[in-house]
Amino acid sequence: MPQSKTVVSHLAQVEPYLTKDRSQIRELMHPDVQGNQKQSLAQATVPVGAITLLHRHALTEELYYIQSGTGIMTLGEQTFAVAPGDTICIKPGTGHCIENSGEVELQLLCCCSPAYSHDDTEILD
């Protein structure tokens, strides 16, 4: 009988890596690792004073949920402040980036459907 993949992930046990937009993420749930099917969930960290590269995804819709810190979100032609408790919907094909405008790390959850892929990330800067 084939073994099933892990269905539980713990933040402290997930190694961070840099995405194409230069954000540090911890992939909490991804089909390539846990075997879920249609989405991924990651925690991203943007250091104080840092900004991710302006980018877009052709296929992926993203949801950002701000956990801690403050930032400036660029979403298409819009630019606006974000803070803990805010959720942002990023539709496929929309250029976006986020800047840490605060004095502590900006941390956010990022849900992607379909799951995040470097191949679906186009840098616009």
Q: Which domains does the chain show, CATH number per domain? A: 17-119 (2.60.120.10)
**Confidence check: pLDDT of 121 > 60:** yes
Convert the pLDDT of each residue in 71-96 to its tens digit.
Answer: 999 999 999 999 999 999 999 999 99
Question: What SS3 class is residue 79?
Answer: strand
**Confidence check: pLDDT of 57 > 70:** yes
Spell out the long-range contacts of 32-35 with Cβ–Cβ below 8 A and sequence spacing 24 or more: 32/115, 33/5, 33/6, 33/9, 34/5, 34/6, 34/7, 34/9, 35/4, 35/5, 35/6, 35/7
pLDDT tier, 114 (very low <50, low <70, confident <90, very high otherwise)? very high
- 23 or 75, which is more confident: 75
Q: What's the confidence (pLDDT) of residue 2?
A: 47
